[in-house]
């Protein structure tokens, strides 16, 4: 199954979801309930170097017991963040940025049609940083040319976090010596490095060994509602949150290296997988503007999608606002379910038929 084809179909589905002529997929099913707007009562320490976090939760927040019952969060499901689709101004320029500055690899791509007047050679591409040992099953950025009249980055996508460990993976022996004695002047520092062509902030961040695309950070309007949705509805782990509720880290569970199951899709075999980070909307911003750059986030899972669908309906009704815009639908050999989180970010679950 081609994720290129899947994501393009999902993008079209999302665009058509609220149009009367939409007939290719089931009509969107909307479930909304009231959610608390009070600030979160959870206090969680920042992640330690090994990726662990100690935390204590108040009764108003999702418990470990609740999370463990979620089918997507169980270790047997091997759920993981698969990729995020970004509509960019130029796929060629964006790919070049990631290849030149981060040594990214293209794992799939689609050429520009001959009838297209664009000078770009690529219409879409998947770029992956890998984990130092493999790019297989690592988090990817699906770059697709933005077809809107005006490109809008918006305020929803806060930054993409790249692990500082990538410099060791991409450096030769002489480079490594220079990193320690300061003699290496050939590597640009964070301030001098080329700017991402779409204006997306790229942050170099400390992280445990694992996926070099360490963080995908979004802004939200309600940290508590967001925490409930991603932990209880989607079964992710609340890995860390600062005491003031200004940052929240979510991910699917890691597994031990000796637990080598053949059907496990988790990149955590080689360390900590990509972390989904949320920050509150900046005080100076009156509202959250998602824009048209970030389109959707895909979660891949081995969980039984029929059972997931049954569970989702009850979880959504009990744990916050959510729009289900794609009921279980088969696309290119996968079964997908489309949801929107409390802020309207599109989340696609992709599993086996």
Q: Does residue 23 fall inside a structural domain?
A: no
Res 173 pLDDT > 70? no
SS3 150: coil
* Span 255-300, pLDDT tens digits: 544 444 444 444 445 688 999 999 999 877 768 999 999 999 999 9
| Of residues 255 and 86, more confidently modeled | 86
Q: Does residue 10 fall inside a structural domain?
A: no
* Span 111-133, pLDDT tens digits: 998 778 788 999 999 999 999 88
* Span 203-219, pLDDT tens digits: 999 888 999 999 999 99
**How far does Cα 285 stand from its chain's mean position?**
23
Q: Which phi and psi (to 5°) does residue 154 adopt?
A: 75, -175
Tokens coding 27 = 């009509």
Confidence grade of residue 314 (pLDDT, cut at 50, 70, 90): confident
* Helix or strand holding residue 277 (H, E): strand 275-280
Structural domain total, the chain? 1
Nearest C-alpha neighbor of 244 from the set 279, 220, 205, 288: 279
Q: Which phi and psi (to 5°) does residue 336 adopt?
A: -120, 150
Q: Does residue 309 fall inside a structural domain?
A: no
Tokens coding 207 = 């992280």
Q: Name, of 28-42, 248-262, 310-324, the range with top average pLDDT.
A: 310-324
- CA-CA distance, 94 to 5, in Å (whole number)? 20
| Of residues 106 and 9, more confidently modeled | 106
Q: Does residue 336 fall inside a structural domain?
A: no
Confidence grade of residue 319 (pLDDT, cut at 50, 70, 90): low
Identify the pLDDT of residue 244: 83
What does the radius of gyration of the chain's CA atoms come to, in whole angstroms?
Answer: 20
Residue 112 CB burial class (10 angstroms; 0-12, 13-18, ≥19):
middle
- CA-CA distance, 261 to 266, in Å (whole number)? 10
Q: Does residue 261 fall inside a structural domain?
A: yes
Q: Does residue 72 fall inside a structural domain?
A: yes
Kindly report the average pLDDT of the chain as a whole number.
76
- CA-CA distance, 59 to 80, in Å (whole number)? 27
- CA-CA distance, 136 to 124, in Å (whole number)? 19
pTM of the shown model: 0.76
* Distance separating the N- and C-terminal Cα atoms of the chain: 12
* Helix or strand holding residue 315 (H, E): helix 305-318
Confidence grade of residue 150 (pLDDT, cut at 50, 70, 90): very high
Identify the pLDDT of residue 194: 61
- Say which range, 13-27, 136-150, 327-341, has the weakest mean pLDDT: 13-27
Residue pair 230/237 in contact (Cβ under 8 Å)? The answer is no
Q: Does residue 14 fall inside a structural domain?
A: no
- CA-CA distance, 275 to 14, in Å (whole number)? 25
Print the domain residue range for 153.
34-295
77 secondary structure, DSSP code: G
* Span 215-243, pLDDT tens digits: 999 999 999 999 999 998 999 999 998 88
Residue pair 322/31 in contact (Cβ under 8 Å)? The answer is yes
Tokens coding 66 = 């609740």
Tokens coding 59 = 């009764």
Q: Does residue 15 fall inside a structural domain?
A: no
- CA-CA distance, 149 to 221, in Å (whole number)? 27
């Amino acid at each position: 199954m081609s994720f290129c084809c899947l994501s393009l179909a999902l993008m079209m589905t999302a665009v058509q979801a609220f149009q009367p002529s939409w007939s290719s997929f089931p009509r969107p099913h909307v479930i909304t309930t009231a959610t608390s707007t009070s600030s979160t009562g959870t206090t969680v320490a920042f992640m330690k170097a090994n990726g662990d976090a100690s935390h204590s939760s108040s009764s108003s927040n999702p418990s470990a017991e609740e999370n463990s019952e979620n089918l997507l969060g169980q270790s047997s499901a091997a759920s993981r963040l698969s990729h995020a689709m970004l509509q960019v101004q130029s796929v060629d320029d964006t790919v070049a940025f990631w290849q030149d500055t981060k040594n990214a690899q293209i794992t799939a791509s689609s050429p520009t049609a001959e009838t297209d007047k664009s000078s770009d050679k690529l219409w879409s591409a998947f770029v992956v940083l890998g984990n130092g040992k493999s790019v297989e099953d690592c988090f990817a950025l699906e770059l697709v040319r933005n077809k809107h009249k005006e490109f809008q980055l918006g305020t929803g996508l806060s930054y993409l976090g790249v692990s500082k460990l990538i410099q060791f993976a991409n450096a030769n022996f002489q480079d490594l010596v220079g990193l320690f004695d300061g003699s290496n002047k050939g590597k640009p520092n964070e301030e001098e490095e080329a700017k991402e062509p779409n204006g997306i902030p790229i942050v170099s961040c400390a992280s445990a060994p694992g996926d070099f695309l360490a963080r995908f950070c979004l802004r939200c309007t309600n940290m508590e509602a967001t925490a409930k949705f991603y932990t209880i509805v989607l079964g992710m782990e609340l890995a860390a949150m600062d005491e003031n509720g200004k940052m929240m880290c979510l991910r699917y569970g890691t597994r031990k290296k000796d637990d080598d199951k053949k059907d496990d899709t988790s990149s955590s075999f080689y360390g900590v997988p990509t972390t989904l980070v949320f920050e509150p909307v900046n005080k100076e911003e009156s509202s959250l503007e998602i824009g048209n750059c970030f389109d959707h986030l895909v979660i891949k899972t081995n969980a039984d999608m029929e059972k997931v669908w049954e569970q989702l309906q009850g979880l959504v009704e009990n744990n916050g606002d959510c729009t289900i815009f794609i009921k279980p639908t088969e696309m290119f050999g996968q079964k997908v379910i489309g949801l929107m989180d409390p802020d309207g970010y599109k989340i696609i679950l992709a599993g086996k038929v």
